[in-house]
Amino acid sequence: MSVIADRNRCDWARTPASIAYHDTEWGVPVHDDRTLFEFVTLEGAQAGLSWETILAKRARYRAVFARFDVARVATFGERDVARLLADPGIVRNRLKIRSTIANARALLALRATEGTTFADFLWSYVDGEPLVNRPASLADVPATTPLAERLSRDLRARGFNFVGPTIVYAFMQAVGLVDDHVVSCFRCKPSARRRRGRASA
């Protein structure tokens, strides 16, 4: 998808990096475990920071976290933690670094116990199709929802970290579980059906 400067977009997409991300990724359904793990990591890393900061560091995150190969990251130990803490190209927060490793292990455990992919587990929360909202403006987009709160509780119970309800809702928006493009945005699909996921009420 090409990036066109004069299109109407969601108000948060204002810089070249955020516009490119908005136009080509945000809200696009993701069904690949590696990409989902990348977004779990990046959304958790964003806590307390701007998404612009994370986008600027994204390439380095891919490099130092083995391109988000879940099995490889799950084997990281203390030497890797020390290496990552010394890398200025990522967010050098010990808790966030450790959470990425813990989340890789939790993801592998989820696959083993559920006998399914992380993608299938996540998409079961929305019955396999994106939840389509049509907010009139950015002010109408919630910080979290009951469904995100339920998914957050489930992920934390399975050993995931940095997956509070607000982070989880941002993650759901990023990977297309939820479509929150505002009605004036060119990415809004007027013909799409509005849907509600299980336990969203």
> Active site includes 52?
no
Beta strands in 97-181 (DSSP E): 131-132, 178-179
Interatomic CA distance for residues 57 and 42, integer angstroms: 9
Catalytic residue among 12, 25, 51, 129: 51
pLDDT band, very low/low/confident/very high, at 189 (cuts 50, 70, 90)? confident
Interatomic CA distance for residues 39 and 34, integer angstroms: 9
* Res. 193: pLDDT tops 60: no
pLDDT band, very low/low/confident/very high, at 194 (cuts 50, 70, 90)? low
The structure tokens listed for 170 are: 């941002």
3-state SS class at 31: coil
Sign of CA dihedral 133, 42, 33, 74: negative
> Active site includes 61?
no
The amino acid that residue 111 corresponds to is R
Catalytic residue among 21, 26, 61, 169: 21
The mean pLDDT of 49-71, rounded to a whole number, is 97
First-to-last C-alpha distance (Å) of the chain: 34
The architecture in CATH of the region 16-179 reads: Orthogonal Bundle (1.10)
> So what's the pLDDT on residue 7?
83
Summarize pLDDT for 117-143 with one digit per residue, the tens: 999 999 999 999 999 999 999 999 999
Summarize pLDDT for 73-127 with one digit per residue, the tens: 999 999 999 999 999 999 999 999 999 999 999 999 999 999 999 999 999 999 9
φ, ψ dihedrals at 131, nearest 5°: -80, 115
Interatomic CA distance for residues 105 and 90, integer angstroms: 21
The mean pLDDT of 188-196, rounded to a whole number, is 59
Catalytic residue among 25, 26, 38, 43: 43
> Active site includes 38?
no
Domain locations along the chain = 16-179
pLDDT band, very low/low/confident/very high, at 196 (cuts 50, 70, 90)? low
Q: What's the whole-number average pLDDT of the chain? A: 93
